[in-house]
Structure 1
Amino acid sequence: MLKDRIVLKVGSAVLVKEQKINLTQIHALSELIATLRKCYEIILVSSGAVATGFTSLNLDKDIVENKQALAAIGQPLLMKIYAESLKQYQITSAQLLISNYEFDSRKHTQNARNVIEVLLKNKVLPIINENDVTTTGELAFLGFGGDNDQLSAKVTHYFDASMLVILSDVEGYYEDNPQINPNAKMRKIVHYIPKEDLESNPTPNDAFATGGIVTKLKAADFLLKNKRSMFLSSGKKLEVLKEFLLNQKHTQGTLFVPEIV
């Protein structure tokens, strides 16, 4: 029996606590992945390289070259943390550094897809990250944010997953800004995202985050237009995702799903 394929994207704001990698959160995430893999094929898209590098070298991350250097330092350290955490669940992981530009080439996309298929067939967990060392500067100058939000949406589409799950400090898609309006209601199911919400400025809540709700909405919009789904929920409340995927109980978070015509 074939398993549904899901892309799980976890943001820096979830993995970082007081400007350090939150090992407790990594271990909780590893446990969740081990549980989900019983029913789903999982591809992990993980932020956190810059934050991990910052724990070894305190550089001003607002300078593009410094941010790239921190990513170069942090990427192998982050993968080591993941590998050690996943090992207790007998899960082997593999690192893939992919940029958004890879998907502009049909050949590059197919090559990456072939590797993903081999890894999943052999029960290896692919861990994908934006290649920050070569792309962060270009994206920063272009004014983009939330690189891994956009990347994870493309990974979902081009690597044939049925759903993208974004675990973030953003708990869902609200009718109003909950930081300003405490009575704002969360949208539980969304079929369409208004243009004005997609054009708002990114508002990251963490020093190492690059997006906010807007980049999540852009990722969801891309997937909706390609007839795929996305679930957005809190990375600090992993039980919400577990209940949704394993018990079909939608208690919190927002499900973006194409409308059936």
Structure 2
Amino acid sequence: MKRIVVKVGSAVLTKDDSIALERVQALIDFLVDLKKSNEVILVSSGAVSAGYTELKLDRNIIQNKQALASIGQPILMGHYRKRFAPHNILCSQVLVTSLNLNKEDDVKRIQNTIDTLLSNGVIPIINENDATSTEELEVGDNDQLSAYIAKDTNADILILLSDIDAYYDKDPHKHDDAKVLKIVEHIPSEELEKNVTPNNVFATGGIVTKLKAAQYMLDNNISMFLSTGFDLSDVKSYMIDGIHKGGTLFKVKN
């Protein structure tokens, strides 16, 4: 049995200022299938955007963002809990800050909590504690958070599901002949130093944050699979059927 961390981005979970219910259901169906033969941990963005569906505050003001996170987190968890229930699967909430992930005692407590949840068949749902985090306590983005969690929980693989379907040899938005790099064993340093360019109003990252997460995984001898969260056929094909059709696998060079 493998331990798998799945991270899903805000752009996948929301659409037109609403929760993207069909995508949430598709995600749940995938996680249920994945859980049949694996331990599954979910790192979920979307608290701020879920809060915005109920209260339209200016997201550029930090206290508004934190307020939206506090509104949105239970909304998000409610959707997850409701959709896992028909499968007799319990889910739980684990909120962390950068401080937790940089203190050995806190990391150990997080490990123990997640180990206990997984051993009892529960799916831990992890998010940054945006409602109370100050700038110096923020992880920064959930791509990096998911990488830390994957490493600290001794996961076998990290899956990133986002509005980016793969890593290309050049920017596919600018070059029609851009090709998907299906397997990547080395990330050029200049790619990691580019400016972050999020594609969605609620996103905090872009391809750069995903490459940084991938590099962190490679440095810790853990694979990472990047795929679209809008259509889960590529990630299902790879993770459940063992067929690599689309998406990018970042793997340690043999």
Give the structure-2-normalised TM-score.
0.97
1:230 aligns with 2:228: no
Give the match's secondary structure for 2:49: helix
User: What is the CA–CA distance in structure 2 between the aligned matches of 1:178 and 1:194, rounded to whole Å?
Assistant: 18
Q: Which consecutive residues of structure 2, in runs of 5 or more, have no partner in the other structure?
A: none
In the TM superposition, 1:61-100 aligns within 5 A as 61-100=59-98
Give the match's secondary structure for 1:170: coil
**How far did residue 256 of structure 1 move?**
0.2
User: What is the CA–CA distance in structure 1 between the aligned matches of 2:107 and 2:85, rounded to whole Å?
Assistant: 29
Which amino acid counterpart does residue 248 of structure 2 have in structure 1?
T
Match of 1:259 in 2: 253
1:53 aligns with 2:47: no
**How far did residue 8 of structure 1 move?**
0.2
Which amino acid counterpart does residue 191 of structure 2 have in structure 1?
D
Give the match's secondary structure for 1:133: coil
User: What is the CA–CA distance in structure 2 between the aligned matches of 1:127 and 1:189, rounded to whole Å?
Assistant: 28
User: What is the CA–CA distance in structure 2 between the aligned matches of 1:62 and 1:179, rounded to whole Å?
Assistant: 26
Which amino acid counterpart does residue 163 of structure 2 have in structure 1?
D
Which of 176, 191, 195 lines up with 2:189 in the alignment? 195
Match of 2:37 in 1: 39
Give the match's secondary structure for 1:197: helix
Structure 1 residues 180, 63: CA separation in 2 closer, same or farther (over 3 Å shift)? same
Which amino acid counterpart does residue 4 of structure 2 have in structure 1?
I
Give the match's secondary structure for 1:97: strand
Structure 1 residues 20, 139: CA separation in 2 closer, same or farther (over 3 Å shift)? farther
**How far did residue 150 of structure 1 move?**
0.4
Which amino acid counterpart does residue 155 of structure 2 have in structure 1?
A
Identity %: 48
Give the structure-1-normalised TM-score.
0.94
Contact 2:81 2:91 in 1 (8 A): yes
Give the match's secondary structure for 1:26: helix
Match of 1:171 in 2: 165
Give the match's secondary structure for 2:132: helix
For residues 112-155 of structure 1, give each alpha carbon's deviation from its aligned partner in whole angstroms, at most 9, with x where no partner exists: 10010110000001000011123364478xxx85x110000010
Contact 2:98 2:137 in 1 (8 A): no
Count of aligned residue pairs for this structure pair? 254
Give the match's secondary structure for 1:177: coil
User: What is the CA–CA distance in structure 2 between the aligned matches of 1:210 and 1:96, rounded to whole Å?
Assistant: 20
Match of 2:206 in 1: 212
**How far did residue 237 of structure 1 move?**
1.6
Which 10-residue stretch deviates more, 128-137 or 185-194?
128-137
**How far did residue 100 of structure 1 move?**
2.6
Contact 2:99 2:137 in 1 (8 A): no
User: What is the CA–CA distance in structure 2 between the aligned matches of 1:206 and 1:118, rounded to whole Å?
Assistant: 35
In the TM superposition, 1:5-24 aligns within 5 A as 5-24=3-22
For residues 141-170 of structure 1, give each alpha carbon's deviation from its aligned partner in whole angstroms, at most 9, with x where no partner exists: xxx85x110000010001010100000000
Contact 1:64 1:137 in 2 (8 A): no
Give the match's secondary structure for 2:36: coil
Which amino acid counterpart does residue 103 of structure 2 have in structure 1?
S
Give the match's secondary structure for 1:149: helix
User: What is the CA–CA distance in structure 2 between the aligned matches of 1:23 and 1:182, rounded to whole Å?
Assistant: 32
User: What is the CA–CA distance in structure 2 between the aligned matches of 1:47 and 1:40, rounded to whole Å?
Assistant: 22
User: What is the CA–CA distance in structure 2 between the aligned matches of 1:242 and 1:229, rounded to whole Å?
Assistant: 16
For residues 179-231 of structure 1, give each alpha carbon's deviation from its aligned partner in whole angstroms, at most 9, with x where no partner exists: 11121011110011111110111111111111010000000000101111100
Match of 2:132 in 1: 134
